[in-house]
């Protein structure tokens, strides 16, 4: 998630293959989508609001002629140290920090879009590849007016109590409404951006891809936020593709797919017939007459985060998971596993890993992870 997920989107590699985490940048050996398109003559520009996890230090800037981030805040300087990071994640302190210590003088979606349009208007007429990173729906949720008053009368059920008193900074019922408000704001701004592209005569000849690097948990498994677990709430995100004449309008793909297939998909759509340097298979296979009957097995991992509190599973080592149409296996560094069966338990509330009736499924999914991913890292 965050930097690791972005690295996977840009290279087509599974996150554990890359070794990228919150402090380790993208290795130079892997070709990025921006590099591949720049080599084909594209203008390349990135406008990012998440300076923490998509800044140039991550290596995600490779291949971009312009990479425009946000201003580094005082809080980000403090959080760059181990002690500062730990202190600022304590809920009591986080709730009483002065405005000057805000981590989030971040660009709004409107500012990101304006930066893109200014770049497009002054960088020539060659085909372009642009990467936009919106931060508005990332905690802490700071919806913009007038969306900060949306859904005011909508009743929100109180979320489950966290299993641990510091389960996450945003473990508060009032955070659910601002999350929806922030999403509504982004949706509005994406609409304005598409209108602006249409006014410039660009929209019909532009591949638009809208997705996210992670979902969000609101107490369904005892924690809030993301990066702590590998349950579907934190993993399942929208994926929208639009390209006039090449992506059929209105098609809904029911099967789960992986973001790692996006680089191969982009090249298949904008440069059909050319050889792709990326692993993975183009998602265009779901759009033609010979649609696959089911999903591929999807692999996902989250990195060891040694500075996190003991209740967080990632403080003890990597987590890995494999998802199929019918089941999911999630395991830790000690190979302690959870098994959930679909569609009967789509909320992943009934762990069947120790049920003898499912032993063969557990063994088969363990074997998939052993075969396809490097061994998980653990705390020493």
Average pLDDT of each block of 10 consecutive residues along the chain (380 residues)?
84 83 82 96 94 78 90 65 64 54 73 97 96 90 91 80 51 73 97 98 97 87 81 93 94 89 96 91 85 77 73 78 95 92 95 98 96 67
Q: What is the DSSP string of 121-150?
A: HTS-SS-EEEEEE--TTSSSP-PPTTGGGT
Task: Tell the residue number behind the tokens 């929209």, with chain if given.
Answer: 203
**Residue 170 confidence (pLDDT):** 45
Its pTM stands at 0.85
Q: Classify residue 261 by burial, with Cβ atoms within 10 Å: 0-12, 13-18, 19+.
A: buried
Alpha helices in 174-215 (DSSP H): 176-199
Two tokens, residue 294 = 């089911």
**Residue 140 confidence (pLDDT):** 78
**Residue 290 confidence (pLDDT):** 73
Q: Which residues, in sequence order, are bridge partners of residue 46?
A: 67, 131
Q: Which of 117, 108, 97 is nearest to 50 (CA)?
A: 108
Q: CA 100, CA 97: separation in Å to the nearest integer?
A: 8
- Please answer whether residues 177 and 154 qualify as being in contact, where contact means their C-beta atoms are separated by less than 8 angstroms: yes
CA distances from 371 to 322, 374, 376 (A): 12, 8, 12
**Residue 4 confidence (pLDDT):** 82
- Domains along the chain with CATH numbers: 3-293 (3.40.720.10), 295-380 (3.30.1120)
**Residue 100 confidence (pLDDT):** 52
Dihedral sign, Cα of residue 229, residue 232, residue 238, residue 239? positive
**Residue 165 confidence (pLDDT):** 47
């Amino acid at each position: 998630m965050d930097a690791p997920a972005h690295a996977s989107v840009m290279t087509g590699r599974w996150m554990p293959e890359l070794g990228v985490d919150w402090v380790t940048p993208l290795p130079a050996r892997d070709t990025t989508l921006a590099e591949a398109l720049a080599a084909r003559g594209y203008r390349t520009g990135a406008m990012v609001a998440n300076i923490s996890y998509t800044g140039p230090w991550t290596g995600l800037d490779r291949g971009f002629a312009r990479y425009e981030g946000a201003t580094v805040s005082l809080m980000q300087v403090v959080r760059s140290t181990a002690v500062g990071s730990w202190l600022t994640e304590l809920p009591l302190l986080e709730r009483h920090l002065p405005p000057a210590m805000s981590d989030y003088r971040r660009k709004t979606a409107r500012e990101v879009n304006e930066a893109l349009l200014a770049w497009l208007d002054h960088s020539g007429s060659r085909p372009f590849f642009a990467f936009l990173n919106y931060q508005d729906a990332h905690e802490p949720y700071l919806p913009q007016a007038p969306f900060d008053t949306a859904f005011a009368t909508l009743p929100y059920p109180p979320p489950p109590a966290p299993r641990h008193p510091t389960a996450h900074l945003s473990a508060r019922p009032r955070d659910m409404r601002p999350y929806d408000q922030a999403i509504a704001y982004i949706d509005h701004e994406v609409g304005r951006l598409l209108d602006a592209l249409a006014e410039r005569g660009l929209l019909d000849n532009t591949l638009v891809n809208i997705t996210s690097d992670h979902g969000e948990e609101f107490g369904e498994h005892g924690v809030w936020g993301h990066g702590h677990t590998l349950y579907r709430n934190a993993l399942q995100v929208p994926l929208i593709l639009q390209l006039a004449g090449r992506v059929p309008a209105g098609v809904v793909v029911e099967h789960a797919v992986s973001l790692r297939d996006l680089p191969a998909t982009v090249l298949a759509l904008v440069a059909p017939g050319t050889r792709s340097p990326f692993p993975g298979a183009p998602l265009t296979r779901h759009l033609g007459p010979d649609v696959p009957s089911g999903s591929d097995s999807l692999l996902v991992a989250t990195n060891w985060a040694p500075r996190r509190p003991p209740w967080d599973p990632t403080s003890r080592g990597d987590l890995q998971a494999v998802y199929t149409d019918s089941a999911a296996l999630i395991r830790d560094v000690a190979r302690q596993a959870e098994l959930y069966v679909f569609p009967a338990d789509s909320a992943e509330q009934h762990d069947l890993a120790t049920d003898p009736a499912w032993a063969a499924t557990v063994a088969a999914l363990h074997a998939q992870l052993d075969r396809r991913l490097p061994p998980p890292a653990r705390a020493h």
